[in-house]
Amino acid sequence: ASSKAYGDRVASHSNRAAQDLLRTMERKQSNLCVSVDVTSKAAFLAVVEAVGPFVCLIKTHVDVIADFDADLVEQLTQLAAKHDFLIFEDRKFADIGNTVSLQYAGGIYKIASWSHITNAHTVPGPGIIAGLAKVGLPLGRGLLLLAEMSSAGNLATGAYSDQTIAMARAHRDFVVGFIAMQRPSGPADEDFLILTPGVQLGSKGDALGQQYRTPREVVFDSGCDVIIVGRGVTGSGESINVEEVQHQARRYRDEGWSAYRERIASN
């Protein structure tokens, strides 16, 4: 999959969210996902409006937004249509199937109703996939499994990562790929989407265990598909400088896309 153009991989996926993401990447010439980890609705919408033209995907943590409400979802959905991107709520579900189906469909956030893609840890076993699929598949949603993490000392390695990949293979209708640091090896015709956080230019990490690599290391060296960039684009504080955010989004979009062009040209 890593040698093929994004647009040529649509046919390898049966899941609508995966197909839509690949088509969006090709159309917008962007493999950038911005992670909008800010804590007010106003800052959130300002960042999304600023980076919208440059991204294929917006990643959210809606539970950190102090004044979250239904109107935020409405406005986010409108911005997704206006700027042509998909939405990924980075919920990292991690409970038994029955509980995650309730968390995914309901509560305050009603994630399944607006988020095209979400993700889950595999620590509970395959029941978590079945519980989420029950809610998400009828809506055309897609799931990513956390096969690896970017943070120092994390336990998602070795046999855990391998068994996560095996669980994904058994649920290809709903599981579209992984949060991972590299493309896993597999049959030549196997096509998972690899979305990778821990990306920043000019910093190796933060004070709480985050570890950063560059877009080129992620996309060219490791064969990943989507770079997920948070503070590299938004900055660390709550005050949003729209011009700077836009400048960084363009920069990461350009870096990610040229690493991808280099990858498909060299294969």
- 59 annotated binding-site participant: yes
Q: How far is the CB of 121 from ligand UP6 (least distance, A)?
A: 10
Euclidean distance between CA atoms 162 and 148, whole angstroms:
10
Tracing tokens 């294969």 back to the chain, one arrives at: 267
Residue 120 binds to ligand UP6 (criterion: CB under 6 A): no
Strand ranges, E, within 77-203? 86-93, 117-120, 142-146, 175-179, 193-196
Residue 256 binds to ligand UP6 (criterion: CB under 6 A): no
Name the residue type at position 131.
Answer: G
Tracing tokens 């153009």 back to the chain, one arrives at: 5
Residue 30 binds to ligand UP6 (criterion: CB under 6 A): no
The sign of the dihedral angle between the CA atoms of 95, 98, 104, 107 is negative
| Residue 136, H or E segment | helix 127-136
- 230 annotated binding-site participant: yes
Among 133, 230, 246, 259, binds ligand UP6 (CB under 6 A): 230
Neighbours of 66 (CB within 10 A): 7
Neighbours of 47 (CB within 10 A): 24
- Judged by CB under 6 A, the stretch of 20-28, 129-137, 186-194, 227-235 that binds ligand UP6 is 227-235
Residue 251 binds to ligand UP6 (criterion: CB under 6 A): no
> Is 67 annotated as catalytic?
no
> Is 95 annotated as catalytic?
yes
Residue 89 binds to ligand UP6 (criterion: CB under 6 A): no
Q: Which of 24, 33, 81, 29 is nearest to 60 (CA)?
A: 33
Residue 87 binds to ligand UP6 (criterion: CB under 6 A): no
- 204 annotated binding-site participant: no
Site string for ligand UP6, 198-217 (x = CB under 6 A): x-x---------x-------
Residue 177 binds to ligand UP6 (criterion: CB under 6 A): no
Task: Name the β-bridge partners of 119.
Answer: 144
Residues of the binding site: 37, 59, 150, 210, 230-231
Catalytic positions, written as ranges = 90, 92, 95
Write out the residues near ligand UP6 by the rule CB under 6 A. Answer: 35, 37, 61, 90, 149-151, 179, 197-198, 200, 210, 228-232
